[in-house]
C-alpha cells in the first residue's frame, strides 16, 4: 500500500510541478527498474478469462499471474483490490499524431497528393508531443495504429505506443499494412452528387482500373527485384514489396457490401491476404468473411444507418452479428481526439448483443492479432509486454471506467493531460 | 353514315394546309396587300361533342365564326352558307388549358455558379424602382413581353393544348402571367386575359444575390415582401413617421390586390404546400399550388388548405434495380413513389380537391397522354380528368367565361380525337380560334383486321396486322400463306402473295382501300397480268375492350405511411391511459430514484408516481419489472428535421428567418432519436452569422406533420453565434462580409440591438398618436428582422448563443447588459469553465458537449470537465447533441461527466432531461416525472447511463412512439415490401424505365451548425470547410464540425 501511495503522489507531483500549460508537458515514463506486483485485482486476461489474483511484471514483461505468485524481494506492490486489470487497449484506424486540429491545415498530415502514394509512411510524421495523445491514454489506450488517408492507394500504417519522446521510441511495428481505399460502388446517395449514374459508373471503373494497374506494376517490380533485374529503385513499388512477400498486410477500407465483395475478389486475384477496414456492411457478408478467414476492423460502432430504411441499430448490432458468424474482428473508433471513446463503443456493442468477453477481445487481442503483435500485446499472459491498465471498474462502461494506472512495456505512464491541467487551473480561480 | 366518314377525314386532312378564316392582321394593323375577306363560318357536323365534363352530345354540330363558337346544335343542323366539316366518327373536346406555362415569354439568363474567388454579391443592382431583392419580379407584367413562338406552341398543340397562362418562371415573386391563345398570330390577337395570376415559388432562380440561400430565408423574404406591400398601400399619401417621403417601389406596387390577382405557387413537395399556405395565410391571400406529384402522401393536409392545385403528369421512372444489389442504393420510399405516383390525381379527386393538369415538369411531352391514361387507370374519373384539362384549368387561368367549354360565345378552341382520349384515342387535330392545326398525317383507314375475300373463285381469309412492320396472312382452313411486300399509306394497302397452296399458280398482287367500315375494295393482278376488282368483307370483331371497360382497380403492393418511407407509421401513435408497474423510476425531481415504483398516466399527463399504486379501471398495465424509467431526453441543440438549409448565413443578421417555417416531419432521424430515448429537440438555426434565426422546439411525434411536431408551449427562441463560424474563418469563400473579427461581431450585435430599440420606439410612438395624427401619418414599416430583436429586448424571446472562447462570451454578456437584455443560454460554451463566475453573475445558463474538442482552434481548450466546472460555479448546465448521431445516445454523453469528473448520476441525467427543459422554459411541462407533467418517458432495460442500456420504449404524452419489439417485428415487413416492389419493377421491364429520372425527393443532408450552403443556386459547390464534411463522413471520422 505504501508503494502505491508513493507512486500516486509521484505522478501527481510530476503533473503539478510542470504546470505551465502549454504544449505537451507530460514526461514519458522511464524504463521499469524494479519488479512490480499488482495485488488483489480482477485480472481480465482476455486470453484466459477472468482471474482473481496478482500480476507480476519485470523488465517490461509479465512474469507471473495468479492467486499465489512468488514476489521478488525488491518488488513494488500496488494494492489494487477491487479494481480491474486489462491489457492496454489498442486503437486501430486512427490519425493520432498526424492530425492535431482538423480545421487548421498546418496541423493536418493525413493526405498526400495523388491517388497512388504507397511510399508514405505515417510514423515519419508522428508527433509524439501531440496534445491529444495524453487524453487518449487517459481512457486506457496504450497503442494506436496510425493510418494515412487518401482516395486510392494511401500508404502504410504503423503501430505506435502512446507514451514516447518521438516516433523512434514510439514505434511498436513500422509499416504494418498498406492501405487501399476501395473505389466507390453503386449510386452515390449524397444529396450533393450531381453526376449521372453512368458518369458515376465510369468513374468507379476508372478507379478500379487504376488500382489494378498499380498492383500489376508493383508486382512486376517485385518479380524483377527477385530476379535481380531492378537497376533503379522506385520508392512507390519498394513500399509495396511486402505485399507480395507476405511481410505487409493489405488493409482495404470498404464499407458497402459491393465494395467488400470486390475487395475479397481482388485479394484472391492478387493472392494476398486482406483485412477489411470500416466494414459498415460486413454483417451482410459475415458468413463469407468467416469462411474466407478475413478479419474486419469494424469502424462504425456508433454508426448511423447508411440507408433510410435500415434498422436504427444496424451498426450497433453489427459486432454481435460478426461474432455469431465467427468473423475475427476488432472494433475501431476511427478519428483522432474522439478515439478515446473506443472502450465505450465496444460497450455499446454489448448493449446490442455482443458478449462482454468478445467486446473486450475486440479492443485488445483482436487488434493485436490484426497488427501481427499478438505474441507481445493484447492479453495478460506471462511473457507478454507489461502494457496494461488498471481501472476502478468495468472499462467498457463510462459509469465505471476510470483508469488509475497505465503501464506500457512496464513503464508507468503519467495520466495527466492538457485537459485535466486546464480544469485544475481554473479550479484555482 | 357508312359512306361519310371517309369524307370527313379528307376534309380534315385538307384543312391542315389551308388557312381559312381571319388573317394575321389585327384591327389596328394597316392592310398593305389585298384585304382578306375569306369566310370564317364553319360547321363541324355529326360529331360526338363533349361540351364539358359530363356533358356528351352525339351527332351534334358546332358552329364557328370569327374564332368563336356561335352555336352547338344538338339537332345537328348547320346554318346556311357554312362550310361543312363532317366530323362523323370523331370526338370533339374543348381545347386544353395549361395554367402554368412559360410559353411566349423570354427565358432568364443562367445564374452563374458560385466561384470562391469571386466576391459574394449582397446587393441587387437598382433600377426602375425595383425591389431590394433580385428574386422579386412582382412588377413585371409578362404580357408586355409576349410573342408567338411557333415551335413552343407546336409542342403544346400536339398534346391538345390551345391556351396557356404564362409567365417567366424565375425567382420568388415572378410577375403577373398572361392567359393567351397558342394560335399562330400576333400577340395582340392572342391575349385572353392580359394580367392574370402572379407566379411565385421559394426558388430565387437566376438571382445572384446572396440572400436568401435557404428555404427559411425565402419564406422570410415572402413574409417581409407581403408585409411591405400592405404597408406600401397604407402609407400612400401619408407622411412617414420620421418626416421622410415614401419611396416609389414598383415591386410593391405590383403586389397590390394580390388576392385578386391570384397566386400560382410552385412547390417541390407536399410540405412546401403547407409552408407556402401558412405564410400567405398570414396575409389572407389564397394560393393555387403547382404540385409536385407527392400530394397523395399527405392528402388530408392538402385538402385542409382549401386550395386548388395544378399538377404535372411527370410520373417517375422506376429506380434502377437491374444490377445485383443495386437496390442497396434505393429507398423504399422511391419504390413506393414509382408505384403510386400515377395515382396522385385520383387521390386529389377522391379528396375533393379541384385541380388542373400542366405540361410543366414533363421531361418528355410525349409522355403526357400516356400518363394521363395511366392516371385514369389508377382510378381518376374521366370527367375529372377532362375538367382538369378544361374547366378547372380555365378557372385557374381566369378565363372560365370564355374558355374550357364548347358552348356558344366561347373561343373556338377545340381538340378533335379519333377514339376515346382517355383510352386509346389519338388527337387528330387541334383548333385555335376557329383555325385548325393538323397534328399528324391522317391514317383514317384501319386496315388491321380479318377479312373474307374471293380470289380466282377461292374464298380466302385475309388477316392484316398493322404496326411498326405491317404483316398479314391469307388462309384457307389450315393452309396459311404469308403476305409479301406489304405497303401501306394513309388510305391504301398493297401486298403480294404466292397462292400456289390454294391451287392458284403464281404470285398475285393486291391493292385495297377502304370502302366503308365493313369492307375494303380494290383489285388484284393475277400472274397473267390481268386485273380483277375485289372486295374484302371485314369480319365482325369484338368491341375494343379498352374503351368499353373501366380499368380494373390498381392493386398496390406498397404501403402508404406517415411519413411515406419504410419506417413510417400507418397513423401517429394515440395516447392511452396507463400504469407503469414495478420500475426503477428516475424522476429527475426531488423524489430522486424510486425503486419498485409505479406511474399512472391519464390524458397524456402524469397523474402519480409512487410505490404500490393500484391500477385504475380500464388502464393499460405495463409491467416494467427490471426496467428503468427516465424522463424523455430533451436536446437543447439539434438540427434534425429541417428542410433545405440550416443556415441563412448570407447576411450577418437574419433574425427574421424561422426554423419553424421549415420543419421537415419526414426526417428519419426523428425516429432514430426516439429509439435513443429523445422526445424533445430544440431545432436551431446554424452558426454562420451573429444573429441567425428563430428556433423551433419540437416533440418527436413521428408520423405527425410539421405542425403536429411543434412543441407550441415553448417560449420563442433565437440563435446567436460567435467566433470562427461567424467570422467565416474556415469558409474558404471570399470573405467580404462584415464581420471578420470577434471585434466586429461584438460591434454589429451592438449596432443591431440599438437599432431594434429605436425601431420599437418608433412603433410605440405611432401607437401613442391621436387619431387625427395617425390618419396623417404612415404607420412605421414592420421589419421582421428588427422585430425579433425587439422581442429579445422585451424578454419575450430567449437567446441561445453558440459560443466557444472566454473573450467573446464575456464581451457578449457585457454588450447585453449595456443594452438591457439577457443571454438566456450559451450553447456549446466550451470555455465556459473559464468564465463560469461571470456567467453565473449574468444569469446565463449553459449547454455544452460532453467531450468534443480539438476540431478547430476555438475548441482546443475544451475539456470534458466543463459541465462539472460550470455546475460547481452555479451555472445551470445541460448537454446537447448538435448532431443527429449523438442525439441517439445522449445517455452515454451524460455518463461521461460521471466518468471524467465524478458527477452524481442523477445530476448527470438531469443534464439531458430537466436542465435543458429549464433552459427552454418548459420545465413546468417536461424534463422530470412528476404529477401534472407531460407523460414523456423512456423504458430502459438497464441503468440508463450505462453503456449497456438499451431503450425499450419511448412515450410522448401517453402515446408510444417507439417500441423495440415492434421495431424488430417491422423489419421483415419492410424487407418483404422492398423485395415485392423490386420484383414489380423488374417485371415491368422497359416500361419501368419510362418516365422522369429526376423525380425523387432528395434526401436532406445531415445539417451541421456550419453547413452554409445556397440551396437555390449551387448544389455542386460549397464552402471548403463544408467539403470536409463529405470527406470526413466518407472516411467515417467522427465529429468535428460545430
State the CATH number of the domain containing residue A43: 2.30.40
What CA–CA distance (Å, rounded) separates B611 from B596? Answer: 6
Can B1-24+38-95+404-444 and B573-632+927-966 be said to share one CATH topology? yes
Is A241 a domain residue? yes
Length of chain B: 1042
Q: Are residues A45 and A104 in the same domain?
A: no
For residue B668, list chain A residues with Cβ-Cβ distance below 8 A: 305, 308
Q: Which residue range is the domain that position A53 belongs to? A: 2-87+415-427
Give a yes or no: residue A24 inside a domain: yes
B1004 to chain A, any CB pair closer than 8 A? The answer is yes
Distance (Å, rounded) from C-alpha B350 to C-alpha B339?
18
Cβ atoms of B427 and B417 within 8 Å: the answer is yes
Same domain, A160 and A281: yes
Number of A to B CB contacts under 8 A, please give it.
178
pLDDT at A10: 43
Q: Looking at residue A322, what is its pLDDT? A: 98
- Main-chain dihedrals φ then ψ at residue B472, nearest 5 degrees: -175, 170
CA distance A51 to chain B (A): 23
Q: Which of A308, A333, A399 sits opposite B898 (nearest CB)?
A: A399
Residues A162 and A81 reside in one and the same domain? no
Q: Binning pLDDT at 50, 70 and 90, where does residue B315 land?
A: very high
B7 pLDDT band, cuts 50/70/90, is: very low
Of A100, A309, A396, the CB nearest to B947: A396
pLDDT band with cut points at 50, 70 and 90 for residue B539: confident
Q: Tell me, yes or no, whether A393 lies in a domain.
A: no
User: Distance of CA A210 to CAs A80, A152, A200, A235, B1034, Å?
Assistant: 56, 9, 15, 18, 20
Q: For chain B, what is the mean pLDDT?
A: 91
Mean pLDDT of B316-320: 93
Over residues B544-555, mean pLDDT: 57
Domain-located, residue A384: no
Contact across the interface for A399 and B946, Cβ inside 8 Å: yes
Residue B120: beta bridge partners? none
Do the Cβ atoms of A351 and B950 come within 8 Å?
yes
CATH topology assigned to domain B97-403: TIM Barrel (3.20.20)
| A77 plus A125 within the same structural domain | no
Omega before B739 within 30 of 0, i.e. cis? yes
Q: Which residue has the higher pLDDT, B734 or B488?
A: B488
Per-residue pLDDT averaged across B329-350, rounded? 96
Assign B839 to helix, strand or coil: helix
Q: Is A181 found in the same domain as A165?
A: yes
pLDDT in tens, A228-242: 999 999 999 999 999
Share of chain B above pLDDT 70, in %: 92
Given CB atoms, is B1036 within the 8 Å cutoff of chain A? yes
| CB-facing half-sphere around the CA of B1005: CA atoms within 13 A | 24
ipTM: 0.95
Q: Are B158 and B122 in contact (CB under 8 A)?
A: no
Q: Which of B945, B937, B948, B947 is nearest to B914 (CA)?
A: B937
CB A279 within 8 A of CB A296: yes
Q: Which residue of A has its CA nearest to B853?
A: A337
Closest CB from A101, A299, A399 relative to B856: A101
**A186 neighbourhood in chain B, CB within 8 Å:** 325-326, 328-329
Q: What is the pLDDT of residue B817?
A: 98
Segment B508-526, tens digit of pLDDT: 999 998 777 688 889 899 8
Distance CA B514, CA B520 (A): 4
Q: How far apart are CA A356 and CA A29, in angstroms?
A: 31
User: What integer is the mean pLDDT of B494-498?
Assistant: 91
pLDDT band at A22 (very low <50, low <70, confident <90, very high): very low
Q: Are residues A266 and A153 in the same domain?
A: yes
Which residues, other chains included, contact B32 with Cβ-Cβ below 8 Å and sequence gap of 6+? Answer: none
Residue B332 has pLDDT above 90, yes or no: yes
Residue B259: partners with Cβ closer than 8 Å, 6 or more residues away:
B284, B285, B286
Tell me, yes or no, whether A396 lies in a domain: no
Which position has the grid cell 433574425? B655
One domain, residues A173 and A249: yes
Contacts with A, B 546-575, CB within 8 Å = 565-567
DSSP symbols for A179-190: EEEPPP-S----
User: Which of A426, A423, A418 has the alpha carbon at shortest distance from A136?
Assistant: A418
CATH classification at residue A316: 3.20.20.140
By 3-state DSSP, what share of chain A in percent is helix, strand and coil, each rounded to 5? 35, 25, 40
Check pLDDT > 50 for residue A71.
Answer: yes
pLDDT of A403 strictly over 70: yes
Q: Of residues A183 and B1034, which shows the higher confidence score?
A: A183
Nearest chain A residue (CA) to B731:
A103
B895:A258 CB<8 A: no
What pLDDT shows up at residue B242? 85
pLDDT at B417: 94
Question: Per DSSP, which regions of A233-282 are E strands?
Answer: 249-254, 274-278
Tell me the helix, strand and coil percentages in chain B, rounded to 5.
Answer: 30, 25, 45
Note which residues in 712-751 of chain B have CB less than 8 A from chain A: 724, 729-730
- Find the CB nearest B857 among A101, A308, A426: A101
Q: Sort out which chain A residues have CB atoms less than 8 A from B646's CB and list them.
A: none
> What's the structural domain count of chain A?
2
CA distance B357 to B341: 14
- Cβ partners under 8 Å of residue A292, min gap 6: A264
pLDDT at B664: 97
Q: Write out pLDDT tens, residues B25-66.
A: 568 989 888 988 888 999 999 999 999 999 999 999 999 999
**Model pLDDT, residue B1018:** 59
Return the exposure string of B128-146: e unless at least 16 CB atoms fall within 10 Å of the residue's CB, then b.
Answer: eebbbbbbbbbbbbbbebb
Q: Which of A2-6, B323-327, B538-542 has the lowest mean pLDDT?
A: A2-6
A356 within a domain of the structure (yes/no) = yes
Domain spans in chain B, listed from the N-terminal domain onward: 1-24+38-95+404-444, 97-403, 449-540, 573-632+927-966
The reply to whether A401 falls in a domain is: no
Q: Report d(CA B588, CA B894) in Å as an integer.
A: 13
Q: Which of B595 and B33 is assigned the larger pLDDT?
A: B595
Gap between the Cα atoms of A340 and A334, Å rounded: 10
Is A400 inside any structural domain?
Answer: no
Establish how many alpha carbons lie within 13 A of residue B51's alpha carbon, considering only the half-sphere containing its beta carbon: 18
A239 and A269 housed in the same domain:
yes
A212 and A331 inside one domain: yes
pLDDT, mean of residues B830-849:
98
pTM of the model: 0.92
Output the CA–CA distances (angstroms, integers) from residue B784 to B223, B405, B694, B760, in the order listed.
Answer: 8, 46, 11, 12
Query: What is the SS3 assignment for B606?
Result: strand
CA distance A218 to A215: 5
Within 8 A of A101 by CB-CB distance, chain B residues are 854-857, 860
Q: Residue A189's pLDDT is what? A: 76
Q: How far apart are CA B89 and CA A16, in angstroms?
A: 102
Which among A205, A178, A200 is positioned nearest to A189, based on CA atoms? A200
DSSP-assigned states of every residue in B283-350: TT--EEEE--S-GGGGHHHHHHTT--EEEE--PBPPP---STTGGGG--HHHHHHHHHGGGHHHHHHH
Do A93 and A38 belong to one domain? no
Q: Of the candidates B567, B905, B947, which has its C-beta nearest A350's C-beta?
A: B947
> pLDDT exceeding 90 applies to what percent of chain B?
77
Residue B648 is classified by DSSP as -
Average pLDDT over residues B321-346: 95
3-state secondary structure of A344: helix
Question: Taking CA B1037 as the corner, what is the angle to CA B1033 and CA B1039, rounded to the nearest 5 degrees?
Answer: 90
Q: Which pLDDT score is estimated for A363? A: 98
| Confidence check: pLDDT of B647 > 50 | yes
Higher pLDDT pick, B35 / B959:
B959
Chain B residue with CA closest to A305: the answer is B672
C-alpha distances in Å from residue B448, one per residue of B142, B443, B519, B538: 49, 12, 12, 10
User: Could you tell me which residues come within 8 angstroms of residue A150 by beta carbon, excluding any fewer than 6 positions away?
Assistant: A111, A112, A115, A117, A179, A181
Tell whether the model's pLDDT for residue B22 goes beyond 90. no
Superfamily per CATH, domain B1-24+38-95+404-444: Urease, subunit C, domain 1 (2.30.40.10)
More confident residue, B443 or A18: B443
Q: What string of DSSP letters covers A119-135?
A: T-BGGGG--TT-SSHHH
Query: In B74-225, at which residue ranges do the beta strands (DSSP E only) sit?
Result: 83-86, 91-94, 96-101, 161-166, 173-176, 178-181, 191-193, 198-201
> B573-632+927-966: what CATH class?
mainly beta
Are A178 and A269 found together in one domain?
yes
Interface of B with A in 272-301 (CB under 8 A): none
- Among B493, B529, B527, residue whose Cα is nearest residue B510: B493
A190-228 pLDDT, tens digit each: 877 888 889 999 999 999 999 999 999 999 999 999 999
pLDDT at B824 over 50: yes
Q: Are A61 and A131 within one domain?
A: no
Amino acid at each position: 500500500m505504501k508503494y502505491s501511495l508513493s507512486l500516486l503522489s509521484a505522478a501527481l507531483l510530476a503533473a503539478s510541478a510542470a504546470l505551465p500549460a502549454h504544449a505537451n508537458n507530460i514526461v514519458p515514463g522511464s524504463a521499469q527498474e524494479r519488479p512490480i506486483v499488482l495485488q488483489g485485482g480482477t485480472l481480465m486476461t482476455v486470453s484466459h478469462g477472468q482471474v482473481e489474483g496478482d500480476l507480476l511484471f519485470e523488465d517490461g514483461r509479465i512474469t507471473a499471474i495468479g492467486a499465489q505468485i512468488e514476489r521478488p524481494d525488491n518488488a513494488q506492490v500496488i494494492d489494487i483490490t477491487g479494481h480491474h486489470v486489462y491489457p492496454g487497449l489498442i486503437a486501430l484506424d486512427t490519425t493520432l499524431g498526424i492530425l492535431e486540429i482538423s480545421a487548421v491545415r498546418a496541423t493536418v498530415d493525413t493526405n498526400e497528393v495523388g491517388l497512388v502514394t504507397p511510399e508514405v509512411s505515417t510514423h515519419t510524421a508522428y508527433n509524439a508531443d501531440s496534445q491529444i495523445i495524453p487524453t487518449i491514454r487517459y481512457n486506457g489506450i496504450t497503442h494506436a495504429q496510425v493510418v494515412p488517408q487518401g482516395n486510392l492507394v494511401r500508404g502504410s500504417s504503423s503501430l505506435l505506443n502512446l507514451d514516447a519522446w518521438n516516433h523512434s521510441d514510439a514505434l511498436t511495428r513500422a509499416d504494418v499494412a498498406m492501405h487501399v481505399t476501395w473505389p466507390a460502388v453503386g449510386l452515390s446517395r449524397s444529396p450533393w452528387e450531381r453526376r449521372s449514374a453512368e458518369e458515376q459508373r465510369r468513374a468507379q471503373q476508372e478507379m478500379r482500373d487504376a488500382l489494378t494497374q498499380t498492383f500489376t506494376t508493383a508486382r512486376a517490380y517485385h518479380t524483377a527485384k527477385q530476379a535481380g533485374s531492378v537497376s533503379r529503385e522506385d520508392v512507390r513499388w519498394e513500399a509495396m514489396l511486402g505485399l507480395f512477400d507476405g511481410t505487409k498486410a493489405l488493409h482495404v477500407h470498404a464499407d458497402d457490401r459491393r465494395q467488400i465483395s470486390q475487395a475479397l475478389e481482388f485479394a484472391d486475384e492478387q493472392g494476398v491476404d486482406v483485412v477489411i477496414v470500416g466494414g459498415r456492411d460486413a454483417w451482410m457478408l459475415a458468413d463469407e468473411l468467416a469462411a474466407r478467414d478475413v478479419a474486419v476492423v469494424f469502424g462504425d460502432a456508433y454508426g448511423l444507418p447508411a440507408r433510410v430504411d435500415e434498422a436504427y441499430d444496424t451498426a450497433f448490432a453489427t459486432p454481435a452479428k460478426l461474432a455469431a458468424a465467427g468473423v475475427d474482428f476488432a472494433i475501431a473508433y476511427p478519428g483522432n481526439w474522439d478515439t478515446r471513446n473506443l472502450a465505450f463503443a465496444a460497450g455499446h456493442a454489448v448493449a446490442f448483443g455482443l458478449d462482454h468477453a468478445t467486446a473486450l477481445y475486440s479492443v485488445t487481442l483482436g487488434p493485436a492479432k490484426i497488427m501481427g503483435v499478438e505474441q507481445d500485446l493484447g492479453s495478460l499472459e506471462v511473457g507478454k509486454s507489461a502494457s496494461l491498465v488498471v481501472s476502478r471498474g468495468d472499462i467498457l462502461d463510462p459509469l465505471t471506467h476510470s483508469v488509475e494506472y497505465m503501464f506500457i512495456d512496464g513503464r508507468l505512464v503519467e495520466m495527466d493531460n492538457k485537459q485535466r491541467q486546464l480544469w485544475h487551473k481554473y479550479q484555482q480561480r | 353514315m357508312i359512306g361519310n366518314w371517309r369524307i370527313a377525314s379528307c376534309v380534315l386532312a385538307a384543312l391542315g394546309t389551308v388557312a381559312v378564316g381571319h388573317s394575321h392582321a389585327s384591327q389596328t394593323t394597316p392592310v398593305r396587300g389585298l384585304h382578306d375577306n375569306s369566310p370564317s363560318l364553319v360547321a363541324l357536323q355529326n360529331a360526338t361533342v363533349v361540351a364539358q365534363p359530363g356533358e356528351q352530345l352525339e351527332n351534334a354540330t358546332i358552329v364557328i365564326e370569327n374564332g368563336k363558337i356561335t352555336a352547338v346544335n344538338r339537332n345537328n343542323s348547320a346554318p346556311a352558307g357554312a362550310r361543312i366539316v363532317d366530323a362523323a366518327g370523331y370526338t370533339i373536346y374543348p381545347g386544353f388549358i395549361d395554367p402554368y406555362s412559360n410559353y411566349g415569354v423570354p427565358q432568364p439568363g443562367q445564374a452563374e455558379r458560385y466561384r470562391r474567388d469571386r466576391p459574394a454579391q449582397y446587393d441587387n443592382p437598382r433600377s426602375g424602382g425595383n425591389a431590394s431583392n433580385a428574386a422579386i419580379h412582382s412588377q413585371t407584367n409578362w404580357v408586355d413581353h409576349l410573342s408567338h413562338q411557333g415551335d413552343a406552341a407546336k409542342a403544346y398543340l400536339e398534346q391538345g393544348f390551345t391556351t396557356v397562362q404564362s409567365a417567366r418562371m424565375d425567382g420568388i415573386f415572378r410577375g403577373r402571367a398572361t392567359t393567351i391563345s397558342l394560335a399562330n398570330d400576333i400577340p395582340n390577337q392572342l391575349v385572353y386575359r392580359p394580367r392574370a395570376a402572379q407566379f411565385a415559388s421559394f426558388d430565387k432562380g437566376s438571382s445572384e444575390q446572396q440572400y436568401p440561400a435557404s428555404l427559411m430565408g425565402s419564406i422570410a423574404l415572402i413574409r417581409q415582401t407581403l408585409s411591405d406591400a400592405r404597408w406600401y398601400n397604407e402609407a400612400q399619401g401619408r407622411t412617414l413617421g420620421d418626416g421622410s417621403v415614401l419611396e416609389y417601389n414598383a415591386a410593391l406596387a405590383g403586389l397590390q390586390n394580390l388576392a385578386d390577382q391570384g397566386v400560382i405557387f410552385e412547390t417541390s413537395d407536399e410540405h412546401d404546400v403547407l409552408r407556402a399556405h401558412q405564410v400567405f395565410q398570414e396575409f389572407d391571400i389564397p394560393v393555387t399550388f403547382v404540385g409536385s406529384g407527392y400530394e397523395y402522401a399527405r392528402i388530408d393536409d392538402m385538402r385542409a388548405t382549401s386550395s386548388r392545385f395544378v399538377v404535372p403528369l411527370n410520373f417517375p421512372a422506376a429506380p434502377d434495380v437491374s444490377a445485383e444489389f443495386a437496390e442497396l442504393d434505393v429507398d423504399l420510399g422511391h419504390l413506393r413513389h414509382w408505384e403510386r405516383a400515377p395515382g396522385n390525381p385520383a387521390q386529389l379527386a377522391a379528396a375533393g380537391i379541384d385541380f388542373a393538369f400542366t405540361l410543366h415538369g414533363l421531361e418528355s411531352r410525349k409522355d403526357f397522354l400516356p400518363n394521363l391514361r395511366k392516371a385514369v387507370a389508377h382510378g381518376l374519373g374521366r370527367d375529372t380528368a377532362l375538367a382538369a384539362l378544361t374547366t378547372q384549368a380555365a378557372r385557374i387561368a381566369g378565363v372560365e367565361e370564355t374558355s374550357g367549354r364548347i358552348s356558344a360565345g366561347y373561343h373556338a378552341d377545340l381538340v378533335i380525337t379519333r377514339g376515346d382520349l382517355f383510352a386509346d384515342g389519338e388527337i387528330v387535330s387541334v383548333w385555335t380560334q376557329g383555325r385548325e392545326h393538323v397534328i399528324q398525317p391522317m391514317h383514317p383507314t384501319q386496315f388491321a383486321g380479318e377479312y373474307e375475300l374471293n380470289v380466282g373463285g377461292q374464298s380466302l381469309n385475309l388477316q392484316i396486322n398493322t404496326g411498326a412492320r405491317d404483316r398479314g396472312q391469307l388462309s384457307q382452313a389450315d393452309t396459311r400463306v404469308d403476305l409479301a411486300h406489304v405497303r401501306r399509306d394513309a388510305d391504301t394497302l398493297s401486298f403480294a402473295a404466292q397462292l400456289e397452296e390454294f391451287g392458284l399458280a403464281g404470285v398475285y398482287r393486291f391493292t385495297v382501300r377502304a370502302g366503308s367500315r365493313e369492307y375494303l375494295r380494290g383489285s388484284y393482278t393475277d400472274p397473267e397480268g390481268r386485273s380483277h376488282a375485289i372486295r374484302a368483307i371485314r369480319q365482325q370483331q369484338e368491341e375494343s375492350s379498352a374503351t368499353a371497360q373501366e380499368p380494373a382497380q390498381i392493386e398496390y403492393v406498397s404501403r402508404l405511411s406517415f411519413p411515406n418511407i419504410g419506417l413510417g407509421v400507418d397513423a401517429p401513435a394515440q395516447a392511452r391511459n396507463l400504469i407503469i408497474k414495478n420500475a426503477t423510476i428516475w424522476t429527475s425531481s426531488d423524489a430522486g430514484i424510486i425503486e419498485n415504483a409505479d406511474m399512472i398516466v391519464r390524458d397524456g399527463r402524469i397523474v402519480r408516481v409512487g410505490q404500490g399504486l393500484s391500477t385504475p379501471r380500464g388502464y393499460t398495465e405495463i409491467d416494467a419489472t427490471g426496467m428503468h424509467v427516465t424522463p424523455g431526453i430533451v436536446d437543447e441543440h439539434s438540427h434534425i428535421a429541417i428542410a433545405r438549409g440550416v443556415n441563412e448565413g448570407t447576411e450577418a443578421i437574419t433574425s427574421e428567418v424561422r426554423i419553424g417555417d421549415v420543419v421537415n416531419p419526414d426526417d428519419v432521424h426523428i425516429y432514430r432519436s426516439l429509439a435513443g430515448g429523445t422526445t424533445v429537440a430544440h431545432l436551431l438555426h446554424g452558426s454562420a452569422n451573429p444573429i441567425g434565426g428563430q428556433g423551433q422546439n419540437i416533440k418527436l411525434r413521428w408520423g405527425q406533420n410539421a405542425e403536429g411536431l411543434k412543441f407550441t408551449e415553448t417560449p420563442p427562441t433565437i440563435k446567436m453565434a460567435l467566433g470562427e463560424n461567424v467570422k467565416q474563418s474556415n469558409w474558404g469563400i471570399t470573405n467580404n462580409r462584415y464581420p471578420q473579427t470577434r471585434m466586429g461581431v461584438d460591434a454589429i450585435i451592438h449596432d443591431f440591438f440599438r437599432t431594434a430599440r429605436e425601431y420599437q420606439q418608433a412603433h410605440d410612438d405611432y401607437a401613442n398618436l391621436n387619431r387625427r395624427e395617425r390618419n396623417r401619418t404612415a404607420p412605421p414599416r414592420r421589419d421582421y428582422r428588427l422585430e425579433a430583436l425587439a422581442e429579445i429586448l422585451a424578454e419575450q424571446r430567449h437567446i441561445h448563443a453558440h459560443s466557444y472562447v472566454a473573450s467573446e462570451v464575456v464581451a457578449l454578456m457585457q454588450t447585453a447588459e449595456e443594452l438591457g437584455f439577457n443571454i438566456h443560454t450559451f450553447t456549446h460554451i466550451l470555455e465556459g469553465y473559464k468564465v463560469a463566475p461571470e456567467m453565473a453573475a449574468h444569469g446565463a445558463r449553459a449547454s455544452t458537449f460532453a467531450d468534443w474538442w480539438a476540431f478547430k482552434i476555438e475548441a482546443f481548450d475544451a475539456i470534458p470537465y466543463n459541465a462539472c466546472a460550470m455546475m460547481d460555479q452555479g451555472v445551470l448546465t445541460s448537454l446537447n447533441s448538435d448532431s443527429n448521431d449523438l442525439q441517439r445516445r445522449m445517455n452515454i454523453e451524460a455518463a461521461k461527466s460521471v466518468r471524467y469528473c465524478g458527477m452524481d448520476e442523477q445530476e448527470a441525467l438531469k443534464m439531458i432531461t430537466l436542465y435543458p427543459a429549464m433552459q427552454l422554459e418548459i420545465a413546468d411541462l417536461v424534463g422530470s416525472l412528476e404529477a401534472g407533467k407531460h407523460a414523456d418517458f423512456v423504458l430502459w432495460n438497464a441503468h440508463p447511463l450505462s453503456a449497456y442500456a438499451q431503450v425499450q420504449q419511448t412515450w410522448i404524452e401517453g402515446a408510444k412512439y417507439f417500441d423495440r419489439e415492434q421495431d424488430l417485428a417491422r423489419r421483415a415487413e419492410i424487407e418483404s415490401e422492398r423485395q415485392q416492389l423490386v420484383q414489380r419493377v423488374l417485371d415491368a421491364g422497359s416500361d419501368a424505365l419510362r418516365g422522369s429520372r429526376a423525380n425523387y425527393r432528395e434526401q436532406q443532408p445531415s445539417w451541421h451548425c456550419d453547413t452554409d450552403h445556397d440551396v437555390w443556386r449551387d448544389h455542386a459547390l460549397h464552402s471548403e470547410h463544408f467539403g470536409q464534411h463529405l470527406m470526413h463522413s466518407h472516411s467515417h471520422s467522427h465529429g468535428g464540425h460545430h
